[in-house]
Amino acid sequence: MSPRALPVLPERPLPGHAVCLDLRTPVGEAYDSDAAVRAALDVPQPGGERRFLVVDEADRLVAHQLLYERLSSYGPAHVVCLAVGTRGERTLSRSLTLRPPAAGVLWVFDSTEDGVPGEAVLRPLVDVLSTPEVFDAVLRALGEVVHGVAVPAVRVLEHDLTDEARARAWRQAVEGLAGPDVPAGNVSADQVPGALALLLGEGVPRSLSGHRWLPAHGRAGARLAACEEAVGEAVDGYQRVRGPAGLLTGAGRTVDLPADVERVTEELNRFRTAVADAFGAVGGTRLTAEHRGVLRDRGVELPELPREISRAGIVPALRDLTHDLIGKGLPLRSVAARLSALSARTAPVGSAARLARLDAICGPERLRRLGGRYPFTAGGSRPAAFAVTGLLALLAGLWPLLGWVLGPAVGALAAGLAHLMLRRRPNRSPDGRIDGGGATGAAPRLFGGLLGGLLGAGLGQFLGLPVWAGAVAATVSVAAVVLLALRDWSRAVDDWWARADPEEAWRILREIQDLVVTTAVHDWLFAEVRHHCSAGAGAVAGLLRGLAETADAHGRPHAARTADRPEADPPPPARETGAASWSWEDWRDDADDWGDGAEDELWSDPVGEPTAGTDPAAQEPPPFPDSGDGPPLPLPAPGWLERRYGDGGPALVDTLVGDLVAGTVLILDRCWAGIERDPGALARAGHEQRLTELLDETRLRLERDVAASPPPRYEGLPDPDALTSLAALTDRSDRPDAARLTGVAADAVARLLLAEDDPDRTVALCGPEHLRLLSHDPLAARQVRFVPEAMRRGAAGDDIWRGTAEDVVWTGAGRHAGILRLVPLRTDVVHTVRAEEAGET
């Protein structure tokens, strides 16, 4: 027996596959077989099904009886033993433990001396037999042959990726999961669930639309009412002053608009001070009963938290948002950037931060502008006033004789009205305490009127107009002077009012009230919810970044290992492999007459030198050592194994990314309860460890069957938490077929399975000297055809597989397809040893 220098058992079996253990003793080494059995028993198996594939030395089966019995210590177990014999062995002894239906034995012979290491034969055979569907089919077939012991004859096709393609696909898949670093960006209310949208805007929930935030009996409410009253009185005085009564009667004498405006400014400042006091008194991330009392003392009445939002609804909304972003294909870092932006937008900053906005609405500059003293200017430009008054006085002076009086009198009337406007200007208090000054153009009107009146009187004397014409002209002139004065008065009052703009105080009051409502809702009522949202979004963003870093770290070494193999031979191309032929007719009763020379002549060793049609370069590549923590490197291919390497199909990377994303979502599903309790206490290490398990499992499937098998289910595991990160549930029917994953067509597999049953197509795993040990009845052999389910999926699969034999075993995973023919042995070759005969093991 050669030392086991090359790996036979998979470093880590695919979940759901048979648990593999090797009970052989390496040459010159101590080996703890009990530890191997204990380790195998500790491997969780789903659904209560316990399968064990044991590699053992054929002459040690009886000695290991107790070890085989121990495999059933946790309950009924199924065992397939791959018994490795030597060329000199001619009989096989086994204990009752290895009898059907719970167990069976496949007897293979070590062929190290033939050029291809025995481990190179066992490794693909172990991969095939550990597939649960093949395992069960082989165990059933062993139950139908004599003694439950058979020598396998094999023909297997292996569809796989080149090392470069596998490394490239894995690197791209990890990059697709993690993504590049991106800036935080922005997030808007229409991009998040409704429960979070309320926190991003400054709107008020509908249920609070009628709430009175500043009741009239409170301090701030009283200031608000006083300011509104002052503005109302100022507006009322303005309405009384701006009309004819304000100029021509004493109605405006009881109005003190400057004082009213001054009061508006003072009350507005008091209201602003009350609001600023409330803003500065309460802050933080949680609204307490004490805070409510402080605000009530300052005149702000807060309701209970509205029904539209609650702390309990934040984490589910964050989960929905995260799932939605991941579902849209965003990598982890992009999702983390969106959540970071959400965290920044929803972080409570306290109501004191609103003071800057309050100053922008009603700061000292705006109050100074509101309380400023603006001059009162009426009559338009002075040259125009001079010309218009002179023209009207000229018109009145056209009355013969009386024109000498009427013309200058019209000018004096215009000047008098202008002087009256100046005295009753609205920017002057009746007592003169406040006076903004003014000008109404009385002098230009007086001079223009006198000059125009005299010219009109002279012109009227020359023209000699009738009396009625002079009377009409004088009447029109006087009326025009009065109407123009009233118009100038109203325009001047309106212009001064617009510049002083006391009504802006109403707009300021509305803006301050809106700010109070926004502050009350978002900084006080929503303070705890906003803190919970910000902390939760930040925690998830940090977790996603940590997961992305974990993925990057996990993805780099595998690519580096592949890049560090410059001397490795390139993978062999797809090829058709011939096989050493043998016939059932050769198993004659007189086979004992064969000599060594006849054996060499009639028989070509099935696991030795390549036969006709076999690519020597692909048949005997140099053996590679184990790659450490990476995938095992290719071993030399035995003659019955045909390897086809692809460069990766169009669906490979997307499928890997989909598996990683689905598993990552399940990892995240474990964190939401912790975020609900305390976002700051989220333990990232455990989730990063689960992602490492997910990455390991996904890479394992990439290495074992090019990710053709979907992530497994894990119901019923003894410790489901240990593999929860691997429990991504993917619908097998929607998974891409093997051709789209590997880039290798499945036509060769179809041809193998569609061929007529022919024993010569398979290669027996024994030497010619062992043929006499086999049964001579061709009908006694049993055959298992197996094909991965992924090979018949896809659009072209139906045509390829039409006519396939009904006994084909469709496996859920694996990269191997082919035929296992189980040839029974003669009845006198197998000996069953009872417990009392076995003795100590």
Bridge partners of residue 159, in order along the sequence: 644
Contact 98, 148 (CB under 8 A): yes
Provide CB contacts within 8 A for 431, sequence distance 6+. none
How many residues does this entry show for the chain? 841
* Averaged pLDDT, 277-305: 85
Residues 42 and 125 in one domain: yes
Contact 540, 314 (CB under 8 A): no
* Averaged pLDDT, 682-686: 79
Name the residue type at position 84: V
* Averaged pLDDT, 164-168: 93
Contact 810, 623 (CB under 8 A): no
Contact 336, 674 (CB under 8 A): no
CA angle, corner 150, sides to 149 and 155, nearest 5? 150
With cut-offs at 50, 70 and 90, classify the pLDDT of residue 629: very low
Q: Which helix (H) or strand (E) holds 783?
A: strand 782-788
136 domain residue, yes or no: yes
Phi then psi dihedrals of residue 24, to 5 deg: -75, 150
Flag whether pLDDT at 147 surpasses 80.
yes
* Averaged pLDDT, 441-459: 84
Flag whether pLDDT at 454 surpasses 60.
yes
717 domain residue, yes or no: no
First to last CA, the chain: 20
Residues 395 and 483 in one domain: yes
Where a domain ends, among 480, 501, 522? 501
CA atoms within 13 A on the CB side of 5: 9
Integer Cα distance of 766 and 106 in angstroms:
11
Name the residue type at position 693: E
Q: How much is the pLDDT for 546?
A: 93
Contact 830, 91 (CB under 8 A): yes
Q: How much is the pLDDT for 602?
A: 26
Integer Cα distance of 425 and 378 in angstroms:
9
Q: How does pLDDT run across 516-568, given as a tens digit for each residue?
A: 998 888 888 888 899 999 999 999 999 999 999 999 988 764 444 343 333 33
Tell me the residue range of the domain where 94 lies.
Answer: 19-154+574-611+754-785+821-833
Q: What are the DSSP calls for 558-590, one per residue?
A: HHHHHHT-TTSPPPPPP---------GGG--GG
Q: Which helix (H) or strand (E) holds 320?
A: helix 314-327
Select, from the ranges 315-329, 373-387, 601-615, 753-767, the one with the highest average predicted confidence (pLDDT). 315-329
- Range scoring the smallest mean pLDDT among 4-8, 449-453, 573-577: 573-577
CA angle, corner 344, sides to 338 and 346, nearest 5? 100
Integer Cα distance of 499 and 421 in angstroms:
18
Q: How much is the pLDDT for 128?
A: 93
Residues 46 and 144 in one domain: yes
Q: How much is the pLDDT for 173?
A: 94
Flag whether pLDDT at 28 surpasses 60.
no
Flag whether pLDDT at 252 surpasses 80.
no
638 domain residue, yes or no: no
With cut-offs at 50, 70 and 90, classify the pLDDT of residue 135: very high
Q: How does pLDDT run across 728-777, given as a tens digit for each residue?
A: 334 455 788 888 899 888 888 877 777 666 667 888 898 888 888 998 88
Where a domain ends, among 468, 486, 501? 501
781 domain residue, yes or no: yes
Flag whether pLDDT at 621 surpasses 70.
no
Q: How much is the pLDDT for 734?
A: 74
* DSSP character at residue 428: B
What the block records as the tokens of 541 is: 């963003």
Q: How much is the pLDDT for 725?
A: 34
141 domain residue, yes or no: yes
Q: How does pLDDT run across 50-64, given as a tens digit for each residue?
A: 999 999 999 999 999
* Averaged pLDDT, 89-102: 92
Is 823 exposed, middle or buried (CB count within 10 Å of its CB: 0-12, 13-18, 19+)? Answer: buried
Integer Cα distance of 216 and 806 in angstroms:
88
Q: How does pLDDT run across 225-238, given as a tens digit for each residue?
A: 999 999 999 998 88
302 domain residue, yes or no: no
Contact 722, 686 (CB under 8 A): no
Integer Cα distance of 794 and 693 in angstroms:
30
Name the residue type at position 350: G
Flag whether pLDDT at 477 surpasses 70.
yes
- Angle of helix 314-327 versus helix 652-669 axis, rounded to 10: 170
Helix residue spans in 670-708 (DSSP H):
672-677, 684-705
- Range scoring the smallest mean pLDDT among 55-64, 146-155, 201-210: 201-210
With cut-offs at 50, 70 and 90, classify the pLDDT of residue 161: very high
Residues 400 and 492 in one domain: yes
* Averaged pLDDT, 69-82: 93
Q: How much is the pLDDT for 567?
A: 36
Residues 142 and 31 in one domain: yes
Q: How much is the pLDDT for 1?
A: 37
Cα–Cα separations (whole angstroms), residue 588 to 128, 302, 418, 758, 781? 31, 101, 143, 18, 16
Integer Cα distance of 385 and 396 in angstroms:
17
Integer Cα distance of 582 and 606 in angstroms:
10
- Percent above pLDDT 90 for the chain: 31
How many domains is the chain partitioned into structurally? 2
663 domain residue, yes or no: no
Phi then psi dihedrals of residue 92, to 5 deg: -130, 125
Q: Which helix (H) or strand (E) holds 629?
A: none
Q: What is the mean pLDDT of the chain?
A: 80
Provide CB contacts within 8 A for 775, sequence distance 6+. 146, 587, 781, 823, 824, 825, 826
Where a domain ends, among 468, 501, 534? 501
The β-bridge relationship of strands 149-161 and 763-764 is antiparallel
Q: How does pLDDT run across 827-837, given as a tens digit for each residue?
A: 899 999 875 55
With cut-offs at 50, 70 and 90, classify the pLDDT of residue 800: low
Q: How does pLDDT run across 701-737, given as a tens digit for each residue?
A: 898 888 888 886 543 333 334 333 333 334 455 788 8
Residues 463 and 578 in one domain: no
E strands, 715-781, are: 763-764
Integer Cα distance of 305 and 280 in angstroms:
21
259 domain residue, yes or no: no
Cα–Cα separations (whole angstroms), residue 496 to 232, 255, 372, 502, 800? 17, 15, 11, 10, 93
E strands, 523-654, are: 641-646
Residues 142 and 58 in one domain: yes
* Averaged pLDDT, 612-622: 34
With cut-offs at 50, 70 and 90, classify the pLDDT of residue 18: very high
With cut-offs at 50, 70 and 90, classify the pLDDT of residue 804: low
- Percent above pLDDT 70 for the chain: 82
